[in-house]
Amino acid sequence: MIKYPNGQKFEPIKAKERKSKKSKEDISISASNRGMNLEEDINISNEWYKERQIALITKRPTPINIVKVDYSKGARIVDAYFEKQSTTDYNGVYKGRYLDFEAKNTKSKTCFPLSNIEKHQIEHLKNVILHGGIAFFIIQFQLKNEIYLLDASFVIHFYENGDRKSIPYEVFKKEGILIKQGYNPRLYYIDAVEAKYFKK
Amino acid sequence: MIKYPNGQKFEPIKAKERKSKKSKEDISISASNRGMNLEEDINISNEWYKERQIALITKRPTPINIVKVDYSKGARIVDAYFEKQSTTDYNGVYKGRYLDFEAKNTKSKTCFPLSNIEKHQIEHLKNVILHGGIAFFIIQFQLKNEIYLLDASFVIHFYENGDRKSIPYEVFKKEGILIKQGYNPRLYYIDAVEAKYFKK
Could you give all domains of chain B from N- to C-terminal order, each with its CATH number? 38-198 (3.40.1350.10)
| CA–CA min distance A3, chain B (Å) | 43
Interface test with B, best of A48, A98, A120 (most B CBs within 10 A): A98
pLDDT(A196) > 60: yes
CA distance A151 to A135: 6
- Write out chain A residues lying below 8 Å of B99, CB-based: 98
Record: contact B63-A63, CB cut-off 8 A: no
The string of pLDDT tens digits covering residues B37-70 is: 999 999 999 999 999 999 999 999 888 999 999 9
Q: Which of A22-26, A37-41, B143-147 has the lowest mean pLDDT?
A: A22-26
Report the share of chain B in percent with pLDDT over 70. 80
Please state, as a whole number, how many other Cβ atoms lie within 10 Å of the Cβ of residue B154: 17
* Closest Cα in chain A to B74: A81
Answer yes or no: do A62 and B60 touch at CB < 8 A: no
CB contact under 8 A, A61 and B61: yes
Residue of A nearest to B100 (CA): A92
Yes or no, beta carbons of A132 and B92 under 8 Å apart: no
Contact A79, A68 (CB under 8 A): yes
Distance CA B72, CA A19 (A): 45
pLDDT, position B114: 94
**Taking a C-beta distance cutoff of 8 angstroms, is the pair B154, B112 a contact?**
no
User: DSSP state, B2?
Assistant: -
Least confident of A61-65, A75-79, A94-98, B20-24: B20-24
Amino acid found at B125:
L
Q: ipTM greater than 0.90, yes or no? A: no
- Model confidence pLDDT, tens digit, residues B121-176: 999 999 999 999 999 999 999 999 999 999 999 999 999 987 668 999 999 999 99
pTM value? 0.80
CB atoms closer than 10 angstroms to residue A19: 9
A60 closest CB neighbour out of B60, B76, B96: B60
Looking at every residue in chain B, the average pLDDT score rounds to 84
